[in-house]
Each structure stands twice: as structure tokens, then as C-alpha cells.
């Protein structure tokens, strides 16, 4: 019985199939590596952008808090708390022309010990009542714009206690898609 | 290095401890006086030496006890051993710390200011030994508070008073307030209008206050002030700057006729700035020492 030997064509075919298989497998590996690298780059860019945005917002909140806390120590704020009879006049004619706030501050209001605004101003979009818990800044999206609310407590330095009165400021800025996704730590 | 750090810390601590009494001696204490359940007034109190006179210094229009003319005068007198009290009038603001802006809302009246002056005078009396010498000093419109307090309280315990410039309100050259303002204020009172109006007052072109608040200051004109000065029976000295453009120089000279010893500091302005500050302090101390009873 003679043993049938594979022809050169068969060897060539086997070689070609093996070559193609190796090429496909290595190609798949390469493609996967490229996709993985792309994902890593995207993730890194996303994290970088996210961190930059969080940093910027934290800085914004910190800056606004400083301005708000300075405002809470202003003699005229204490004046309004002690004598709110002329609050509407003060809010309308004095507050915004005092030069106390940068241009990007839209509104400010003073709230009494119970959390009620000292007087209702028809043009004001700020809440008329605030909780009496320790106030923290918050964001709100209204009509495609992001607003930052920065409350601060007014402290009676003589009695060394929270007078329970806080006020609120509102800062407007263009909404960005990332704004909603960011959680401030 | 490890052994040097604690040693350095100890050295710094010891230096601080050694220097502390000296630095505290030159500092003032903040004292508070409740005026209502919502408003407290504050003052700087500079403790002096035993047996030395007690001085109260009142600041000028809408200023505070931290106004440079007041602070430097208080420190100078305190360095000489005097006990000094420098109140900040509240102007209806709890623990007021800054000077008021003209454009702010002014809810205070001169009568309220005087009530505070009386409370601080009482504080000074209660803090000082019974037979202490007590002196009342007022700078600028603080002098008007002094004059009106002494006039309204003839039973006061002050033995001498010094005025560092005496302005007056009402119509006068370069005044912001006018007879037209007075007419508007009187009309508002007649109409039982307790709202806010804009008037001129002192150096303020636009001073937002009630008619009552405006008139309480406006009425302190030259005749009113001169008459009250005349009625004050304790030794009174006016020290003014010859270059004070805020006050009519003839007015200063006329006050001699009201029994006031008048001393001019050549070249000084309304605030006795720059080198005139030291001259002012020298003059004040020499006046107080000259008037002191011989031991």
C-alpha cells in the first residue's frame, strides 16, 4: 500500500490558511488593543474634564461664598435685620447700586430668623422662604441656564450665635451639558 | 535638626510670653452696651493708670471709634496714663463696625445718638472711682454730641470738655443741606409722611433718611450750638485747624465770646492729619495738665 503524499498545493493551502488565521487573530488582538487604548484615552479625557469642571465649580462656589460671607457681615445687612421697615426701599434703591457684588450676581435677599424674606419684592425670583437648617450652596437649572444659589448665615458676633437669618444670592451662567452631571463633593 | 526644632519653638514661645504684657498694655478692649434686644453698641476702652483721669472721645459724623483722628488721640492719651473710652454710635446698627456711606439708609436721629452718649457716660461713671476726673472730648460732629449732651444733662459728672473742631448743621456756605430741604422735611412731617427722602446733609449730597431724622440734625445750626455752648458751665476748649475748609474760621473766633478757650493749630485741617496730629496731641495733653488740680 502506497502512502498518499500531500502535494505542494496542499502545503501551500495549509500555509495560506494558517497565515490568514494568524493575521486575523493578530488583527483582532490589535483592534482590541486599539479600542482599549481609545477607551482609556476617552476615560482619561472624561476624568480630566470632569475634574477640571469640578475644580472650576468648587472654586466658583468658594469665591461666591467669600463674597456672600462678607455680605453677611456688612453693617447695612445688620441694619435691615434690626429694622426691616425700609427693606423694600433698600433692596430696590441701595443694594444693587452699592457696588458690593460683581456684575454676574443677579439677585440677593435677606431672610429673617424664621427663614422668611424680609419683604416680598414682586420682581424677585428668589424663594420667599428658606429652611432654617444650616444653608449650603445649590445649583438650579432654569430655562437652559444654570444658577448658583449661595446662602450664608448672619452671625451676631456679640451673642456669638447664629442670628438665624440668612440671605441668598443667585448667580446666572450659561448652561453646559456637564453641569447637570457634576456632583460637588 | 531634630533637636533644633523644639528649641526654636521654645524660644519663640518664650519671646511671645515675654513680649505679651507689653503688647497687651497698648491694646484696647472692646466693650458692648445693649441698646435693645436687637441692637448693641460697642466701644474701645483703653485701661489707664490708677489715679489718672477718665476720658471719653466721640467720633465725627457717621464715623466710628476706629477713625484715625480718634484712635490716635485715644492711644496718645492712654500712653500718658489716661483711661480712654471711645464709643462707636450705633446709628441703629447692631455692633456697627464701619463708617456709614452717605447713600445708605439712615434711620437714626440725633436724639437717639444722645441717648447712647448718655449711656456711655453712665458706663464711664460706673467704671471710674468716685472722685475721678472725667473729661469729654468730641471730634467734628462728635463735638455737637458733646455740647448737646452736656447741655441736656447739667447733672453730668464731667469736669472739663474739649472740642476738636466744632461744625454746625443748617444753612451755611458749602453746606449740602438747604432751606429747601428743610421745607420738604417740614411738609413731610405735616403730611404724617414717615417714609424715606433724599436730602443733603453735612458732606453728603444725597442722604437718605426720614424727615424726622433729617430735621434732628438740621436744627443744630450756628445759633442753637452757640447758645448751648454758652450754657455749659465747665471749662471748655476748642482746638481747630487754621486750614480747616469745612468750618467757617470766623465761627471759631466767635466762640471765644461764648466762654470757650480757642486754640488754633496753624496749617492743620479738619482731621489734624500728618505732622499736625502730634501737635494736636501735645496741645490736648498740655490743656488737660494745665487744668488738672494741683496735688
Separation between Cα atoms, residue B279 and residue A27, nearest integer Å = 94
**Residue B13 pLDDT more than 80?**
no
Beta bridge pairs of residue B58? B138
Kindly determine whether residue A78 and residue B93, on different chains, have CB atoms separated by under 8 Å: yes
What is the arithmetic mean of pLDDT over B43-67? 96
**What integer pLDDT is reported at residue B20 of this predicted model?**
43
DSSP strand E in chain A: where?
A: 105-110, 138-142, 145-149, 152-156, 161-174
**What integer pLDDT is reported at residue A178 of this predicted model?**
22
pLDDT tens digits for range B266-291: 999 999 988 899 999 999 999 998 86
CA B44, B49, B52, B55: dihedral to nearest 10 degrees? Answer: 0
**What integer pLDDT is reported at residue A179 of this predicted model?**
21
B103 touches chain A (CB under 8 A): yes
The verdict on ipTM greater than 0.90 is: no
DSSP state of A117: B
Q: What is the model's pTM?
A: 0.81
**What integer pLDDT is reported at residue A130 of this predicted model?**
83
Kindly determine whether residue B40 and residue A158, on different chains, have CB atoms separated by under 8 Å: yes
- C-alpha distances out from residue B236 to B151, B206, B212, B220, B233, Å: 13, 34, 30, 19, 8
Q: Which residues on chain A are in Cβ contact (under 8 Å) with B92?
A: 79, 82-83
Q: C-alpha grid cell for residue A81?
A: 435685620
B33 touches chain A (CB under 8 A): no
Q: C-alpha grid cell for residue B167?
A: 461744625
**What integer pLDDT is reported at residue A7 of this predicted model?**
87
Kindly report the average pLDDT of chain B as a whole number: 90
**What integer pLDDT is reported at residue B8 of this predicted model?**
57
pLDDT tens digits for range B157-174: 999 999 999 999 998 877
B11 vs B167, residue with greater confidence = B167
**What integer pLDDT is reported at residue A157 of this predicted model?**
79
A185 vs B187, residue with greater confidence = B187
Mean pLDDT by 10 residues, chain A (185 residues): 77 93 95 96 96 94 91 94 93 91 89 89 86 79 89 82 43 29 24
What is the arithmetic mean of pLDDT over B1-29? 53
- Among B95, B107, B196, the residue with its CB nearest the CB of A157 is B95
**What integer pLDDT is reported at residue A113 of this predicted model?**
84
**Residue B11 pLDDT more than 80?**
no
- Among A83, A90, A98, the residue with its CB nearest the CB of B92 is A83
**What integer pLDDT is reported at residue B4 of this predicted model?**
54
Confidence of residue B295 (pLDDT cuts 50, 70, 90): very low
Confidence of residue B247 (pLDDT cuts 50, 70, 90): confident
Across B123-137, b (16+ Cβ under 10 Å) vs e yields bbbeebeeebbbbbb
Following DSSP, what letter does each residue of B213-269 receive, concatenated?
Answer: HHHHHHT--HHHHHHHHHH--S-EEEEEETT-TTS-HHHHHHGGGGT-EEEEETT--
A83 touches chain B (CB under 8 A): yes
pLDDT tens digits for range B202-242: 999 999 999 999 999 999 999 999 999 999 999 999 999 99
Other CB atoms within 10 A of residue B154 CB:
9
**What integer pLDDT is reported at residue B18 of this predicted model?**
47
Lowest mean pLDDT of A45-54, B190-199, B211-220, B250-259, name the range: B250-259
Confidence of residue B9 (pLDDT cuts 50, 70, 90): low
Kindly determine whether residue A93 and residue B97, on different chains, have CB atoms separated by under 8 Å: no
**Residue B100 pLDDT more than 70?**
yes
Amino acid at each position: 500500500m502506497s502512502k498518499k503524499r500531500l502535494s505542494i498545493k496542499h502545503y501551500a493551502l495549509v500555509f495560506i490558511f494558517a497565515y490568514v488565521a494568524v493575521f486575523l487573530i493578530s488583527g483582532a488582538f490589535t483592534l482590541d488593543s486599539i479600542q482599549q487604548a481609545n477607551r482609556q484615552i476617552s476615560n482619561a479625557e472624561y476624568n480630566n474634564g470632569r475634574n477640571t469642571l469640578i475644580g472650576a465649580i468648587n472654586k466658583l462656589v468658594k469665591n461666591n461664598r467669600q463674597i456672600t460671607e462678607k455680605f453677611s457681615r456688612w453693617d447695612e445687612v445688620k441694619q435691615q435685620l434690626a429694622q426691616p421697615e425700609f427693606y423694600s426701599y433698600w433692596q430696590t434703591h441701595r443694594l444693587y447700586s452699592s457696588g458690593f457684588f460683581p456684575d454676574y450676581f443677579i439677585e440677593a435677599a435677606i431672610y429673617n430668623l424664621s427663614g422668611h424674606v424680609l419683604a416680598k419684592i414682586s420682581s424677585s425670583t428668589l424663594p420667599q422662604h428658606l429652611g432654617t437648617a444650616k444653608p449650603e450652596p445649590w445649583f438650579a437649572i432654569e430655562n437652559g441656564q444654570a444658577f448658583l444659589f449661595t446662602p450664608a448665615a448672619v452671625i451676631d458676633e456679640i451673642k456669638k450665635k447664629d442670628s438665624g437669618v440668612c440671605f441668598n444670592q443667585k448667580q446666572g451662567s450659561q448652561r453646559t451639558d456637564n453641569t447637570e452631571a457634576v456632583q460637588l463633593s | 535638626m531634630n533637636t533644633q526644632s523644639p528649641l526654636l519653638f521654645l524660644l519663640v514661645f518664650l519671646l511671645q510670653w515675654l513680649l505679651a504684657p507689653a503688647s497687651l498694655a497698648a491694646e484696647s478692649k472692646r466693650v458692648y452696651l445693649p441698646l435693645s434686644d436687637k441692637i448693641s453698641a460697642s466701644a474701645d476702652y483703653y485701661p489707664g493708670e490708677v489715679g489718672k483721669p477718665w476720658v471719653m472721645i466721640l467720633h465725627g459724623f457717621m464715623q466710628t471709634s476706629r477713625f484715625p483722628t480718634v484712635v490716635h488721640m485715644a492711644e496718645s492719651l492712654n500712653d500718658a496714663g489716661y483711661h480712654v473710652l471711645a464709643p462707636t454710635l450705633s446709628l441703629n446698627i447692631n455692633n456697627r463696625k464701619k463708617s456709614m456711606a452717605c447713600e445708605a439708609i439712615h434711620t437714626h436721629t440725633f436724639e437717639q445718638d444722645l441717648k447712647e452718649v448718655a449711656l456711655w457716660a453712665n458706663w464711664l461713671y460706673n467704671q471710674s472711682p468716685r472722685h475721678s476726673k472725667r473729661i469729654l472730648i468730641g471730634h467734628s460732629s462728635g463735638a455737637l454730641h458733646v455740647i448737646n449732651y452736656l447741655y441736656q444733662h447739667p447733672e453730668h459728672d464731667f469736669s472739663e470738655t474739649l472740642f476738636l473742631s466744632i461744625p454746625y448743621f443748617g444753612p451755611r456756605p458749602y453746606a449740602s443741606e438747604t432751606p429747601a430741604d428743610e421745607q420738604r422735611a417740614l411738609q413731610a412731617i405735616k403730611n404724617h409722611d414717615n417714609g424715606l427722602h433724599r436730602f443733603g446733609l453735612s458732606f453728603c449730597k444725597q442722604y437718605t433718611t426720614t424727615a424726622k431724622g433729617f430735621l434732628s440734625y438740621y436744627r443744630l445750626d450756628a445759633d442753637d450750638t452757640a447758645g448751648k455752648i454758652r450754657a455749659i458751665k465747665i471749662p471748655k476748649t476748642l482746638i481747630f485747624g487754621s486750614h480747616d475748609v469745612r468750618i467757617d474760621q470766623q465761627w471759631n473766633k466767635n466762640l471765644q465770646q461764648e466762654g470757650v478757650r480757642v486754640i488754633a493749630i496753624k496749617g492743620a485741617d479738619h482731621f489734624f492729619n500728618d505732622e499736625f496730629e502730634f501737635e494736636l496731641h501735645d496741645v490736648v495733653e498740655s490743656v488737660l495738665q494745665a487744668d488738672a488740680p494741683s496735688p
